[in-house]
Amino acid sequence: MIQKILNPRNLLFSISIIICIFIITGDAISETDPLPSWNDRSVKNYIIKFVETVTNPESNDFVKPEDRIATFDNDGNLWIEQPLYTQLAFAIDRVKAMAPDHPEWKTTEPYKAILEGNYSSLDKKDLLEIIATTHSGMTTEDFELIASAWFKTSKHPKYKRSYSELIYKPMVELLEYLRANGFKTYIVSGGGIDFMRPVTQELYGIPPEQVVGTSVVTKYELRDGKPVLIKMPEIFFIDDKEGKPIGIQKFIGKRPIFASGNSDGDYEMLLWTTTGPGKRFGLLLHHDDAEREYSYDRKSHIGKLDKALDAAGKNKWVVIIMKNDWKTIFPYEN
């Protein structure tokens, strides 16, 4: 045996294999902090402990890679949602861009208010109307181009930066950490699916097919003999509240083992996730950082966090306190 190993050819081969292993595992051995933007507090430790447990084949709580499904809300959870939902900021900019072709808007509400910059008077019905106006009547491919272009030119009122820069760095690290541990990461958002998909790969490393969201009816039509899909001004599916577990079932067909949200709209998704069998993780982000970002919860019209916050204790959901848990918030800070 020893002789066989010491045979020059075998020895060379053995050394090569050892070097192979070293090259392949080198990165893992020199592993550094997977969540550098998170302060070393209990939330970070709970997350790491959970991931280490469900990926450990020796553990009773081991979960097979194909069942490691993690779902993330988007607005106020992966990207900013104050002072207006990002998609609403987009719709307002679209109304302004489309106004020259609609002179009647100067005297018709809610367009008049928007063109005059009075967003505070807009109610829910107005918002649905301008979303319908600005998100329909074009092909899915044309809408994709419009949305992609907007992210490059948009400017947030507080930060004076593009909305694509206003994503939460700690959450992007968390997504990467989960994927590095065999999780499949999904967005499950009340926002428009066609609005998010053009940018989720670049912003979060999440491909279009892993985005679940609210959508409008789409119509198949032939134009010059070629099929196109037209976005219609009619809701097909609302992926919010009860719609989240329903959307997860429709699109993914598996119950997540990890869910992350920041508002009452995520309550049902968190409950659906954490009441399943085996080890589960519910994560709730509490925005309390008025200085670095925004502070809002129970009384907010956008991203209201009330019922879900009350339910966190009973359901053992882990609550992120932005002020204490996040070392940095946006990627541009480093």
| Residue 234 vs 242, nearer CB to a copy of itself | 242
Query: Of residues 121, 137, 201, 290, which one binds a copy of itself by CB under 8 A?
Result: 201
Q: Which stretch binds a copy of itself (CB under 8 A): 37-45, 75-83, 155-163, 269-277?
A: 269-277
| Residue 197 vs 286, nearer CB to a copy of itself | 197
Q: Which residues pair with 259 in a beta bridge?
A: 71, 282
Q: How far apart are CA 315 and CA 271, in angstroms?
A: 8
Please list, in sequence order, all residues whose beta carbon lies within 8 angstroms of the beta carbon of residue 69, skipping any fewer than 6 positions away: 183, 184, 186, 252, 254, 255, 256, 257, 258
State the DSSP string of 220-254: EEEETTEEEEEEEEEEEE--STTHHHHHHHHHT-S
Q: Does 232 engage in binding with a copy of itself (CB under 8 A)? A: no
Q: Does 27 engage in binding with a copy of itself (CB under 8 A)? A: no
Please list, in sequence order, all residues whose beta carbon lies within 8 angstroms of the beta carbon of residue 139, skipping any fewer than 6 positions away: 228, 229, 230, 231
Q: Does 249 engage in binding with a copy of itself (CB under 8 A)? A: yes
Query: Of residues 112, 161, 179, 254, which one binds a copy of itself by CB under 8 A?
Result: 254
For the CB of residue 100, give the shortest distance to a copy of itself in the complex, in Å. 30
Query: Of residues 272, 281, 317, 330, which one binds a copy of itself by CB under 8 A?
Result: 272
For the CB of residue 283, give the shortest distance to a copy of itself in the complex, in Å. 18
Query: Of residues 137, 275, 278, 290, which one binds a copy of itself by CB under 8 A?
Result: 275
Q: How far is CA 6 from each of CA 9, 16, 18, 138, rounded to the nearest angstrom? A: 8, 14, 15, 71
Q: How far is CA 111 from each of CA 50, 69, 147, 207, 209, rounded to the nearest angstrom? A: 49, 42, 20, 34, 34
Q: Does 229 engage in binding with a copy of itself (CB under 8 A)? A: yes
DSSP one-letter code for 118: -
Residue ranges in contact with a copy of itself by CB under 8 A: 12-13, 15-17, 19-20, 23, 66, 140, 184, 193-194, 197, 201, 207-209, 211, 215, 218-220, 226-227, 229, 236, 242, 245-246, 249-254, 268, 271-272, 275
